[in-house]
Amino acid sequence: MASYAKIDSTNIVIGVHVVNDVDEGGSEEKGIEFLTSVHGDISPNFWKKTSVNTVRGVHLHGGTPFRKNHAGIGFTWDESRDAFIPPRAMKSNQAITHNSWVFNEAQCAYIAPIQWPSESHPDQKDDQGVVVSRQTDYEGMEMIHSWDEHKLRFVGRKNIIPHPPYDQQTLYAWDPNTGTWSDSGFTFAQFIDMNYTGD
């Protein structure tokens, strides 16, 4: 199976279609011919092949990366880089774009301006003292990460199953200098509130 991105006249991906190997005939040109036979002439929109196994410039199974990233709706096609570029990340409530993130040429993606969290929370129990089953390879509990654009930091909440209500989930702040999590003073409900400013 092969995937093809449908790209509009402004180079934005507006759809991704799968073509089976027989119809693709082993080449991008044949795949585009097949898609044209099914969908007709879509100009000024056009097709480009994309690889489900390529993410941030790396092939997930050790093969050769293809066009830097698997295309998704909203990605940008960059002809000069022969690459699909994902949009900048956004806050979990979709209210704020992470404009502080910088473009990484090797990955053809926007990355955070500080080191990504690498440790789990040291607490191995939920708030009721019950040991949780979802653990990371580290000693503590898996954290669900978000980015705080107001304070330019990663924040996280414990991955407790089942999830408590948002207003009962402590929001922790990641310190890249010490490699530790600490209480941010906010709940996750406050963080995703449209009025959150980090204060």
What ranges do the domains of the chain cover? 2-85, 114-199
CA distance 183 to 166: 15
Within 10 angstroms of residue 104's Cβ, the number of other Cβ atoms is: 12
Q: What is the pLDDT of residues 103-137, one digit of tens each?
A: 999 999 999 999 889 777 766 555 565 555 444 43
Q: What is the pLDDT of residues 27-66, one digit of tens each?
A: 999 999 999 999 999 999 999 999 999 999 999 999 999 9
Return the pLDDT at 34: 95
Q: Please tell me whether residue 148 adopts helix, strand or coil conformation.
A: strand
